[in-house]
Amino acid sequence: MKAHELRDLSLTELEARLADEKEALVEFKFNKAIAGQIENPARIKNTRREITRLITIINEKVSAE
């Protein structure tokens, strides 16, 4: 999702999405450690960026209140 689309979501939706992304990152790292390689290594990088984007938007919303 793009940043402007994420800004339209509520705080609880953002936090739920953040938890999902963190869980996915752990799963990707686990699969990489066990199998030695994963199907799409760029997904780890994209997931980390998505987590950072979500944290930034959550902090913006909290500071605006």
pLDDT, tens only, 12-62 = 999 999 999 999 999 999 998 998 878 888 999 999 999 999 999 999 999
- For the cut 90, the answer to whether the pLDDT of residue 2 exceeds it is no
Spatial separation of the C-alpha atoms in residues 1 and 3, rounded to whole Å: 7
Q: Which residue has the tokens 């402007």?
A: 4
- For the cut 80, the answer to whether the pLDDT of residue 1 exceeds it is no
Closest CA relative to residue 4, chosen from 57, 64, 63, 51: 57
The per-residue pLDDT for 53 is 95
Q: Is the whole model's pTM more than 0.75, yes or no?
A: yes
Spatial separation of the C-alpha atoms in residues 40 and 63, rounded to whole Å: 36
Domains of the chain, start order: 3-64 (1.10.287.310)
Q: Which residue has the tokens 């500071």?
A: 63
- For the cut 80, the answer to whether the pLDDT of residue 11 exceeds it is yes
The per-residue pLDDT for 12 is 93
